[in-house]
Amino acid sequence: MLSRKIFLFIIISSLSNSLLANTQDCQELSIPIEFDPQGLPLIELNINDVKHKALLDLGSSEGIHLPVAVIKKIRELKYTGAAVKSSNIKGEVFEAKAFVISSLQINCATFKNMHGLELAPWAASIGEGEVADVSEQIVIGLGFFKGKKLILNYSNKSLLIQSISTKDSPSNKNNYAMPYKISREGLSIEMTSPKASYQMILDTGASNSIFVANKVNLNENVKACDYNLGPDVKCEMYDSSLKVSGFDFQSNILLFPIDKRFEMDGILGSDFFKRFIVEIDFLNKNIALTPVINKSA
């Protein structure tokens, strides 16, 4: 069941040219995940010998978002003079200063020329939900993993980052990899119904999956719901079968009038990541899914 308070924490930002450096110091990083009250994934990072909690947000294409207080303590950080605009699902636009960190020690790995942005208050909630205070929150985005392999497993609360040279992967070898697409909105994969196909952004920073209301095929089955999604927003949920990479995916996916500048068909949030172990190969640009077995079934 969905809570009547629906929380979304979404970043829709322009793609950057940020580079994730070679991590010569270690071939593999295994990091535990904990979840905040909205069900969003937090990881603990040791950055230049200081421990920080960071939000893992694959809805951001940047490498890292830092609050000003943290920026001031990193000597290797230099502002580029550029500013990047981003917007949330409600169409609110934010601007943040861009920077490059020449060398950054994170856990056992050294990252070179890490691109990032000052943290901007892009959080958005739907209806009665209150926006969480993330003014001092470090955020890790897609650019952090460039050239690496990421294995995200909500079921055992773990994040694994592998060097691409690592030969033995814990992924399920029986699952074929499918390509993903990169747009200014992030990484997207295809999701299909018997009626249509949809291109969906993978967003660990969203607490629930959501369709762009006017992009759902008119022949799909939808059902009414009674959540307060805001003034003049009709509450509807998708009510048809879906498949991703050949696997069934069932969830209460809301329909919402996301800002018209959003080009994809929707967002796959925490409900998606709870159902699949997600392996993303950022070098070969493909993704593999392993369904999570429901132990209570």
Q: Which of 14, 12, 20 is nearest to 143 (CA)?
A: 20
Q: How many domains does the chain have?
A: 2
What would the pLDDT profile of 13-63 be if each residue is shown by its tens digit? 333 333 333 434 478 888 999 999 888 999 998 887 888 999 999 988 889
Tokens, residue 173: 């070898």
- The verdict on 11 and 148 lying in the same domain is yes
Percent of the residues in the chain that have a pLDDT greater than 90, as a whole number: 50
Q: Is pLDDT of 135 > 70?
A: no
Q: Kindly tell me if the per-residue pLDDT of 296 is higher than 50.
A: no
Judgement on whether residues 280 and 157 belong to the same structural domain of the protein: no
Distance CA 20, CA 269 (A): 24
* Secondary structure (DSSP) of 135-191: TT-EEE-GGGGTTEEEEEETTTTEEEEEETT-----S-TTSPPEE-EEETTEEEEEE
Residues 123 and 209 in one domain: no
Residue 135 sits in a domain of what CATH number? 2.40.70.10
At 80-120, the pLDDT tens digits run 999 887 766 666 777 899 999 998 888 887 888 999 999 87
Residue type present at position 192: T
Please state the rounded mean pLDDT for residues 264-270: 95
pTM of the predicted model, to two decimals? 0.81
